[in-house]
Chain A
Amino acid sequence: MISMLSHPAIISTLGGLLLSCLHSRPRKIVLLIIPVLGTCALLVIEPGQHFQWQVFGYQLILLRLDSLSFVFALIFQCALFIVALYAWHEEDRLQLASIFIYAGAATGAVLAGDLITLFVFWELTAIASAVLIWANKTARAARAGQRYFIMHVSSGLFLLAGSILHFQQTGSVAFDHLGTDTLAGGLIFIAFGIKCAFPLLHNWLQDAYPEASVVGTVALSVYTTKLAVYALARAYAGTEILIWIGAAMTVFPIFFAVIENNLRRVLSYSLNNQLGFMVVGVGVGTHMAINGTAAHAFAHILYKALLFMSMGAVLHRVGTIRASELGGLYKSMPWTAGFCIVGSLSISAFPLFSGFVSKSLVLTAVASEGYWLIWLVLLFASAGVLDHSGIKIPFFTFFAHDSGKRCAEAPFNMLLAMGITAALCLAIGVYPSFLYALLPYAVDFTPYTNTHVITQLQLLLFSALAFALLYRAGLYPAEIPALNLDFDWFYRKPGAYLAKQIAALAATGEKNFLSALKKVLFVTAARLHRHHGPQGILAKTWLTGSMVLWVAFLLGAYLIFYYLY
């Protein structure tokens, strides 16, 4: 039992509980030690299956370390260090504990070797992450958190239902390839799809992430969706429908990102778009494609966290993250601006930055399987990434029209967290072999070829040229304080209206039923009262004389009957 303490998920989770009872000073040290311990544990544990328990006839495997789970668990633990450093100044212990429990649960889910363990950690990520949204303590965050929580608990229920069905059909709860051919596989597919923000199931992401606390959003951007990507890669690699779902995911969010004013929401749409590339990789399912998915998840966690950290720092200092109220902040926050630009160059996949060496794996895998249409869609989406994350985020925050806002540079711990992450983005871009060595399968791919560098620069810089021309011609959509409707309108407006109508109808029905019931009960009670009440004929005390009279009458009647028949 004591050996369980070497499980990285247990280290983070118990660490989170420990943080919640520590005072400020020791907490600031323990905060940074826990992710280091978790990472070390992960590096020391032998690949294979550990902590196998037989519970009620189910074979539970609490830790399965193989090449696929390793790369995800590793980046989850590394990201926890970065998030912890970024949240170092945070005094809200509930938030800190939630971040660690959330990260621990996500690591546990990635390392789970069976569906039951997966389910437990799956739901724990939902609960712990919802706390990070509520931690912002606004009415809007409270409602967004509720919607988020409902979606994620439902995802867990789909997983549970699918797992039970799967066990009934196969007698096994092992978490391996499932496929969508069976009902069980289909149910679990939906569970993963909700968490992965598939089109039309995606709104919880753009709804909740921008409402979470400054540090909460950074943690949220790392875990939930990448856990879903891992789960898809484990159970649905090579499922062709994922190619189409992924391609749709890369395209539709970019249009919303262009016109969105809340920059953390822009990044949420951008996150959704990046997930698309990973989902396409899972759908293609070849070794190269799965490598591409894992590499892109790894690189993406870093640059997306970097972008969310820089926007969080702006929100922390300026108090708003609306593009329409920002601009010219490079004068006040030059370091934050610099780190943000590194994140932007990485996500846009400029050569020498991490996105370049990870996204090209996915694109090459797609091309080598001959999916030319999907490949064109991904190329189109890449131009979109340059717009919303490459240009819009840094340009409208730090440059563009000077808002006149002046503030202090971000706190030192935030700058350090951003600096380390930016360095990692650059390191992966410059030495891709570091990243490639971590991938599930052997990599036979050279990202830096003449063709690749030149074509990528052509794509990106001509997109930038288009921006320059549009912006100078005044055709680029202005940043205006507004809200854009998305699919969630259907359940937040007509859906909510319908639900209210049904509730009202049910309330009326209940009232009518109750009043009818009351009427029946009153009538019955009144009758009972008449016959059995104090004045009731059946409740009267009878005189002995009258009883004797009646007995004599009955006997007389009996005598008469006897003689007659």
Chain B
Amino acid sequence: MMPEKNHGYWLDRPGNINIIVYVLYAICALLLSLDLFYHKHAFFSFEHWFGFYAWFGFLAYITIVMGAKLLRKIIRRDENYYD
């Protein structure tokens, strides 16, 4: 075991976590607005919908996580269930 050094880790300060999250919001807003400025090469018509990839990704993610939470209710067992 190494002695704990007081590094004062940047990530340990809650305010800095907020900075990361706000940067993420800003990047997302920027990416979404980019859809107005370039010609999209697409295979399917629905790809041309405004921000299709953005909201598809967002909704897919929420569906997956919430679906998994529901699944956990059914399939969760004790760690030593099979032993």
Task: Please say whether chains A and B are actual partners in one complex.
Answer: yes
Q: Which residues of A contact B (CB under 8 A)?
A: 140, 254-256, 258-259, 330-332, 364, 367-368, 370, 372, 375, 379-380, 383-384, 386-387, 399, 402, 406-408, 449-451, 454-468, 470, 472, 475-477, 481-486, 492
Chain B residues within an 8 Å CB radius of A370: 43
Contact assessment for B44 and A372 in the assembled complex, using a CB-CB cutoff below 8 Å: yes
Contact assessment for B64 and A258 in the assembled complex, using a CB-CB cutoff below 8 Å: yes
Complex A-B: 27 CB contacts under 8 Å: A255-B71, A331-B9, A370-B43, A380-B63, A383-B61, A384-B60, A387-B61, A387-B65, A406-B1, A451-B42, A454-B34, A455-B47, A458-B32, A459-B53, A462-B55, A463-B61, A465-B24, A465-B25, A466-B58, A466-B61, A468-B21, A470-B65, A476-B65, A482-B79, A483-B76, A483-B78, A485-B77
With contacts A255-B68, A462-B54 known, what are 6 further pairs, Cβ within 8 A?
Answer: A254-B64, A372-B44, A383-B61, A451-B38, A465-B58, A483-B78
Contact assessment for A399 and B61 in the assembled complex, using a CB-CB cutoff below 8 Å: no
Question: Majority SS of interface residues in chain A?
Answer: helix
By CB atoms of chain B within 10 A, which of A407, A459, A462, A463 has the most? A462
Chain A residues within an 8 Å CB radius of B82: 483, 492
Contact assessment for B28 and A140 in the assembled complex, using a CB-CB cutoff below 8 Å: no
Chain A residues within an 8 Å CB radius of B7: 331
Query: Given the known A-B contacts A454-B38, A470-B62, A483-B78, are A477 and B32 also in contact in the complex, defined by CB atoms under 8 Å?
Result: no
Chain B residues within an 8 Å CB radius of A483: 76-82
Contact assessment for A464 and B24 in the assembled complex, using a CB-CB cutoff below 8 Å: yes
Question: Majority SS of interface residues in chain B?
Answer: helix
> Nearest Cβ distance between residue B4 and chain A, in whole angstroms?
6
- B: interface residue count bin: 35 or more
Expressed in whole angstroms, the Cα–Cα distance for A130 and B63 within the complex equals 37
Chain A residues within an 8 Å CB radius of B43: 364, 367-368, 370, 372, 375
User: Chain B, 22-66, contact with A by CB distance < 8 Å: what is the 0/1 string?
Assistant: 001101100110110011111110010001111111101111111
- Check B13 for interface membership: any CB of A closer than 8 A: no
Expressed in whole angstroms, the Cα–Cα distance for A174 and B37 within the complex equals 55
Partner of A449, one of B9, B11, B41, B67: B41
- Check B19 for interface membership: any CB of A closer than 8 A: no
Chain A residues within an 8 Å CB radius of B83: 140
Partner of B24, one of A387, A454, A461, A481: A461
Query: Given the known A-B contacts A406-B4, A458-B32, are A380 and B68 also in contact in the complex, defined by CB atoms under 8 Å?
Result: no
